Amino acid sequence: MNIETIESRTQPTAWRNKLPEQIGYGVLYVMLTVVAVIQVLPLLWLLLFSLKNNEEIFNLAPFALPDKLRWENYEKVWTQGHISAYFFNSVWMTVLSVAVTVLLASLVTFALTRMKWKLQSFVLGLFMLGLMIPVHSTLIPLFSFFTKTHLTNHPLSIILTYISFNLPITIMIMLGFYYTLPREVEEAAVMDGCSVNRIFFNITLPMTASVLSTAVIINMIYNWNEFIFVNTFISSDKFKTLTVGVQNFVGQYTTDWGAIGATLMISILPILLAFILLSNRIVEGIAAGSVKG
């Protein structure tokens, strides 16, 4: 019996052995496709919603195309509805809050994982305790505090609140990743005469790029979509954000639903774009930080 005969007999067996695996992959791809479609449908519905007027929204089927694509809804909210100012406020408050939160969380995590000092476990416990504080229970104490310090109706009240509430979860995300970092690199830097500051900014911080991306996108989503604090502490249109600015199109007797849809679509796009650009980094950061060692 030659080699060709043996190969011809073994090929059907090998194909049959791989058949269950191929079926499993096929089922998995079908399920992922269904999930993807379910995730995209709300965005498609919102886009169609934003291009209709009130009559079309209530009289047409949810996914029916409008008689006319009303792009003027976007022009109206951007110019007449002051959404451009609200959008700018959301951008700079979110960027500043995220930058300070991630930097402070990195410094704290570095001190907790790479240094030995008294009350180290106690300080870590205090930060983790912040995860158990309900947001709504702090509204009255914070409002009273900001009123006494003349920070109500001031963007600093929002930024400080965002930083305080996001620090615990950001530190928790970074802890697992920092434990996996090799100490040999830092020890070699110490032998070369590096200071603690240079070790952190030039060595450790660049090594944590993937987990930083995860922390940034999580903080960004929370800050961008936050409503309660802005609605409670800010009353002037000058410092309102997109989430609160939507209320401008809700009147006592009539509501411009198409304008509301356009505002929501504008508010979604930055987060969607950031998630697409940082998606690979997010997966790497979660995977690397989930296992110690």
- CA-nearest of 97, 77, 99 to 87 is 77
**What are the helix (H) ranges across 183-256?**
183-191, 196-198, 205-207, 209-225, 228-233, 242-245
Evaluate whether residue 53 is within a structural domain: no
Return the pLDDT at 242.
87
**Long-range contacts: 241-247, Cβ < 8 Å, 24+?**
241/86, 241/89, 241/90, 241/93, 241/158, 242/83, 242/86, 242/87, 242/89, 242/90, 242/266, 242/267, 243/90, 243/267, 244/86, 245/81, 245/82, 245/83, 245/86
Query: Model confidence over 174-222: pLDDT tens digits?
Result: 988 888 888 888 888 888 888 888 888 888 888 888 888 889 888 998 9
Return the pLDDT at 254.
65
pLDDT at 291 over 70: no
Residue 43 three-state SS: helix
pLDDT at 236 over 50: yes
Evaluate whether residue 51 is within a structural domain: no
Residue 81 three-state SS: coil
State the residue range of the domain holding 248: 72-289
CATH number of 134's domain? 1.10.3720.10
Q: How many domains does the chain have?
A: 1
With b meaning 16 or more CB within 10 Å and e meaning fewer, what string describes 234-255? beeeebbbbbbbbebbeeeeee
Q: Which of 90-99, 144-153, 197-206 has the lowest mean pLDDT?
A: 197-206
Evaluate whether residue 237 is within a structural domain: yes
Q: Which of 77-81, 214-218, 275-279 has the lowest mean pLDDT?
A: 275-279
Element housing 260 (H / E): helix 257-289
State the pLDDT confidence band at 9, using cuts at 50, 70 and 90: low
User: How many angstroms separate the CA atoms of 225 and 265, rounded?
Assistant: 13
Q: Identify whether the C-beta of residue 74 lies closer than 8 Å to the C-beta of residue 50.
A: yes
Evaluate whether residue 226 is within a structural domain: yes
Evaluate whether residue 39 is within a structural domain: no
HEC sequence for 155-188: HHHHHHHHHHHHHHHHHHHHHHHHHHCCHHHHHH
**Can you tell me which residue has the tokens 């073994």?**
10
